[in-house]
Amino acid sequence: MTKFKVSQHILVPKHIKLSEKDKKELLEEYHISLKELPKINKKDPAIQQLDIKKGDVIKIIRKSPSAGEAVFYRVVV
Amino acid sequence: MAEKEKEKIEEEKEETKEEEIEIESYEQAIFKKVKSILFGVFSPKMIQKMAAAKIVTPELYDKEGYPVDGGLMDARLGVIDPGLRCRTCGSKLKECLGHFGYIELARPVIHIKFVDTILKLLRCTCRECGRVLIPKNKIEEVSAALEQIEEERSLEEKRKEIKQLSAVLRAISKCPYCKAKQYPILLEKPTTFIENEKRLSPIEIRTRLEKIPDDELKLFGLNPATVRPEWMVLTVMPIPPVTMRPSITLESGERSEDDLTHKLGDIVRINQRLFENINAGAPEIIIEDLWDLLQYHVTTYFDNTVAQLPPARHRSGQPLKTLTERIKSKEGRIRHNLAGKRTNFSARSVISPDPMLDIDEVGVPIEIAMKLTVPEKVTEWNMEYLKRFIEKGSDKYPGANYIIRPDGKRKKITDETKEAFLEELKPGYVVERHLIDGDVALFNRQPSLHRMSMMAHRVRVLSGKTLRLNPAVCHPYNADFDGDEMNLHIPQTEEARAEAEILMQVRTQLISPGFGLSVIGCTMDSISGNYLLTKELEFSRQEAIDLLYSIGVDDFSKLPKKKVVNGKEIFSVLLPEDFSYKGKSKNGEEVVIKKGQLIKGVIDKASLGSESGLMLRELHKRYGPEKAIELLKKLFKLGIKVLLKIGFTTSVADTDLPTEIKDEIKQILDEAEQAVDKLIESYNNKTLETFPGKTLLETLELKIVEVLNRARNEAGKIVAENADKNTPTMIMADSGARGNLLNLAQMAASVGQQALRGKRIERGYKNRTLSHFKKNDLGPEARGFIRDGFKAGLNPAEFFFQAITGRDGLMDTALRTPKSGYLYRRLANAMQDLKVEYDGTVRDATGKIIQFKYGEDGIDVSKSEAGEINVARIIGGKS
Ligand SMILES: [Mg+2]
Ligand SMILES: [Zn+2]
Ligand SMILES: [Zn+2]
Question: Within an 8 Å CB–CB cutoff, is residue B576 touching chain A?
Answer: no
C-alpha to C-alpha distance for A52 and B159, rounded to whole angstroms? 36
CA of B249 to the centre of ligand 2 (A): 21
Q: Which domain holds residue A24?
A: 11-76
Strand partners, B488: B347, B443
ω before B202 within 30° of 0 (cis)? no
Domain B524-646 and domain B653-811, same fold? Reply is no
**Of the ranges B332-346, B626-640, B776-790, which is most confident?**
B626-640
Nearest to A38 among B839, B849, B859 (CB): B849
pLDDT of residue B28: 67
pTM greater than 0.80 (yes/no): no
Q: Name the residue facing A36 among B847, B853, B856 (closest C-beta).
A: B847
- pLDDT tens, position by position, A20-75: 999 999 999 999 989 899 999 999 988 888 888 888 999 999 988 877 888 999 99
CA of B53 to the centre of ligand 2 (A): 12
In a domain, A19, yes or no: yes
Q: Is residue A4 part of a domain?
A: no
Q: Domain total for chain A?
A: 1
Confidence band (pLDDT; 50, 70, 90) for B366?
very high
Q: Which residues pair with B505 in a beta bridge?
A: B456
Across the interface, of B850, B856, B859, the residue whose CB is closest to A70 is B856
> What is the CATH classification number for the domain harbouring A22?
3.90.940.20
Across B224-235, average pLDDT:
90
Would you state the pLDDT for residue B10? 44
For B151-165, the three-class secondary structure string (H helix, E strand, C coil) is: HHCCHHHHHHHHHHH
A32 inside domain = yes
When scoring A25, A28, A32, A34 by the number of chain B Cβ atoms within 10 A, the one with the most, hence best to mutate, is A32
pLDDT of residue B691: 84
Nearest bound ligand to CA B351?
A: 1
User: In angstroms, what is the span from residue B52 Cα to ligand 2's centroid?
Assistant: 9
What whole-number percentage of chain B has pLDDT above 90? 32
Q: How confident is the model at residue B491 (pLDDT cuts 50, 70, 90)?
A: very high
The CATH number given to B653-811 is 1.10.132.30
Write phi, then psi, for B751 (nearest 5 degrees).
-70, -35
* Residue B321 predicted with pLDDT over 90: no
In a domain? residue A2: no
Q: Are strands B759-760 and B785-786 parallel, antiparallel or unpaired?
A: unpaired
C-alpha distances out from residue B466 to B96, B452, B457, Å = 45, 21, 16
Q: What residues does each domain of chain B span?
A: 524-646, 653-811, 835-876
B866–A contact, CB cutoff 8 A:
no
Query: Is B879 a residue whose pLDDT tops 80?
Result: no
pLDDT-based confidence at residue B126 (cuts at 50, 70, 90): confident
> What pLDDT score was predicted for residue B874?
63
What's residue A39's pLDDT? 92
Preceding omega of B246 cis (within 30 degrees of 0): no
- Give contacts of A62 with chain B, Cβ < 8 Å: 856
Exposed / middle / buried, residue B438 (Cβ in 10 Å: 0-12, 13-18, 19+) = exposed
> How would you label B636-657 residue by residue, b for 16+ Cβ within 10 Å and e otherwise?
bbbbbbbbebeebebeeebbeb
Q: Lowest mean pLDDT: which of B2-16, B69-83, B534-548?
A: B2-16
The pLDDT > 70 percentage for chain B reads 95
Interface contact B809, partner A, CB < 8 A: no
Q: Say if CB B189 and CB B106 are below 8 A apart.
A: no
Q: Tell me, what's the pLDDT at A50?
A: 87
* Distance from residue B76's CA to the centre of ligand 2 (Å): 7
A13: which chain B residues are within 8 Å (Cβ-Cβ)?
Answer: none
Domain B524-646: CATH architecture, name and number where available: Orthogonal Bundle (1.10)
- pLDDT at position B877: 53
Contacts of A64 in chain B (CB under 8 A): 856-857
Report whether pLDDT(B376) > 70.
yes
Distance from CA of B862 to the nearest CA of A (A): 15
A27 min Cα distance to partner chain B (Å): 12
The total number of residues written for chain A in this structure: 77
**How far is residue A50's CA from residue B792's CA, in Å, rounded to a whole number?**
70
Question: Residue B866: closest CA among chain A residues belongs to which residue?
Answer: A66
Confidence of residue B16 (pLDDT cuts 50, 70, 90): very low
Q: Can the peptide bond before residue B398 be classed as cis, meaning omega within 30 degrees of 0?
A: yes
Instruction: Note whether A36 contacts B839, CB cutoff 8 Å.
Output: no
The predicted structure's pLDDT at residue B68: 85
Please tell me the distance from the alpha carbon of residue B287 to that of residue B274, in angstroms, as a whole number: 7
Name B430's bridge partners. B377, B404
- Chain B residues within an 8 Å CB radius of A72: 852
Chain B CB contacts of A67 under 8 Å are: 853, 855-858
Phi, psi at B79, each rounded to 5°: -115, 140
Contacts of B849 in chain A (CB under 8 A): 30, 32, 36-38
State how far the Cα of B662 lies from the Cα of B117, in Å rounded to an integer: 80
Q: Which residue of A has its CA nearest to B851?
A: A72
Is A5 domain-assigned? no
DSSP string, B739-799: --HHHHHHHHT--EE-EETTEE---SBTTBSSTTSPTT--SGGGGTEE-S-TTT---HHHH
Q: In the predicted model, what is the mean pLDDT of residues B313-337?
A: 85
Query: pLDDT tens, B782-835?
Result: 888 898 889 989 999 999 999 999 999 999 888 988 888 889 888 888 998 999
Can you tell me the mean pLDDT for B68-79?
A: 86
**Which residue in B590, B531, B598, B591 sits closest to B558, CA to CA?**
B598
Q: What is the ipTM of this complex?
A: 0.92
pLDDT of amino acid B328: 86
Question: Is residue B5 pLDDT above 70, yes or no?
Answer: no
Q: Which of B850, B852, B858 sits opposite A73 (nearest CB)?
A: B852
Which among B834, B839, B857, B860 is the top mutation candidate for probing chain A, defined by the most A β-carbons within 10 Å of its own β-carbon? B857
